[in-house]
Amino acid sequence: MDKAWRGFLLKTMLRIRRMEELCAELYTQEKIRGFLHLYIGEEAVASGVMAHVRRQDSVIATYREHGHALLKGIPASAIMAEMFGRLDGCSRGRGGSMHLFSREHRFFGGNAIVGGGIPQAVGLALAAKQLGEDRLTFCFFGEGAVAEGVFHESANLAALWRLPVVFCCENNRYAMGTALERSESQTSMAAKARAYAIDALEVDGMDGLDCYDKSGHAVESVRSGAGPFFLEFNTYRFRPHSMFDPELYRGKAEVDAWKKHCPIATLKARLLTEGALTEAQVAQYAADIEQEMQSAVAFAQASPWEPAADLERFVYAGRDSGGSA
């Protein structure tokens, strides 16, 4: 990867981090309501994978999906308006934090159900193959989803039918709040994928360059027609599971130890040491991102609420074809 690409990778991680930090601030101010699951600490995964995603490719994620949506091209303004529950949000304010969606950008959620996006991803990949479309499907989920039966059913069919899907397991070790070793007898998610004859790699999810390189290998394999690929990203979220989580299942010392491996800090230090980036360039990144995010907040605050009279629209198929949600 050349200097420009490595700088771009750092900038995408900084965009996700600043948006997430801002969302946490806005949540405490009660501007954002409902559930909020932050991605802080895991930015290298989305940045490394999404760098290989084309506009025509499909993406499905979990309820910790803000960064994925941003990097798929959904404007920060539409994401923030959705967080605020406003009409100009990407889901008309109806989905909130956990249900970001954009048919235009082929971003199919945001899914509040653990493992819920996995069979949808397999369906999208099957449709692409049957229609002869040149598109991949990228599916993000946590290690907790691999314990769900639907993962095993989906993995089996994806391998059997050699579907163009990239399974991206973000293994942050605790699912919602139970340590992996206490919930799953086989703690290697990649091993579970290989049991279905799916090629799999383990990735350092705290290293943006490793995420980029191994994601590129997986994408090249799937695009060649070799069938699905499974990536296990060993990562760590610095924040609790959600803003409601008292975080009684892990200690502060453990979290602090993982923060020393912050993907943004380590990549920044590496690029500065190598001379691939300057402090002035990093400062400019931060300034540009701050302007983008503050503009997004202003847009969200100015966006109207959906009229009560419209609440029955889009509830049933055929009820109203005049919307874009």
Q: Per-residue pLDDT averaged across 3-19, rounded?
A: 94
Q: Give the rounded percent of residues in the chain with a pLDDT score beyond 70.
A: 98
What's the pLDDT at 325? 44
Sheet holding 199-204, edge to edge: 58-60, 137-142, 165-171, 229-234, 199-204
Token pair of 191 as six digits: 């091993």
Given a contact cutoff of 8 angstroms between Cβ atoms, the answer to whether 93 and 84 are in contact is: yes
Q: What tokens does 273 get?
A: 């040491």
- As a whole number of angstroms, the distance between CA 182 and CA 211 comes to 27
Going from the N-terminus, what domains does the chain have, and what CATH number goes with each? 3-293 (3.40.50.970)
pLDDT tens profile 71-92? 999 999 999 999 999 999 999 9
Instruction: Kindly indicate the confidence band of residue 314, based on its pLDDT and cuts at 50, 70 and 90.
Output: confident
Burial letters 170-191, b for 16+ CB under 10 A, else e: bbbbbbeeeebeeebeeebbbe
Structural tokens at position 22 = 């801002």
Would you say residue 159 has pLDDT above 80?
yes
pLDDT in tens, 257-280: 999 999 999 999 999 999 999 999
Task: Please check whether residue 92 is in contact with residue 103, taking contact to mean a CB–CB distance below 8 angstroms.
Answer: no
Nearest to 170 by CA among 196, 202, 198: 202
Integer Cα distance of 116 and 114 in angstroms: 5
**pLDDT computed for residue 5 by the predictor:** 83
Instruction: Show the beta-strand stretches assigned E in the chain.
Output: 58-60, 137-142, 165-171, 199-204, 229-234
CA distance 277 to 270: 9
Q: Is the pTM here over 0.85, yes or no?
A: yes
At 207-263, the pLDDT tens digits run 999 999 999 999 999 999 999 999 999 999 999 999 989 999 999 999 999 999 999
Helix or strand or coil: residue 325? coil
- CA–CA separation, 65 vs 204, rounded Å? 20
pLDDT at 244: 87
Q: Which long-range contacts (CB under 8 A, 24 or more apart) does 198-201 make?
A: 198/155, 198/158, 198/159, 198/167, 198/227, 198/228, 198/229, 198/230, 199/226, 199/227, 199/228, 199/229, 199/230, 200/229, 200/230, 200/231, 200/232, 201/229, 201/230, 201/231, 201/232
Q: 96 in the Ramachandran plot: left (φ > 0), alpha (ψ -120 to 50) or beta?
A: left
pLDDT recorded at residue 319: 55
> What tens digit of pLDDT does each residue of 33-52 get?
999 999 999 999 999 999 99
Kindly report the number of other CB atoms within 10 A of residue 119's CB atom.
17
Contact call for residues 39 and 66 (beta carbons, < 8 A): yes
Q: Are 42 and 206 in contact (CB under 8 A)?
A: no
Residue 318 — very low, low, confident or very high, per pLDDT cuts 50/70/90?
A: low
Contact call for residues 166 and 216 (beta carbons, < 8 A): no
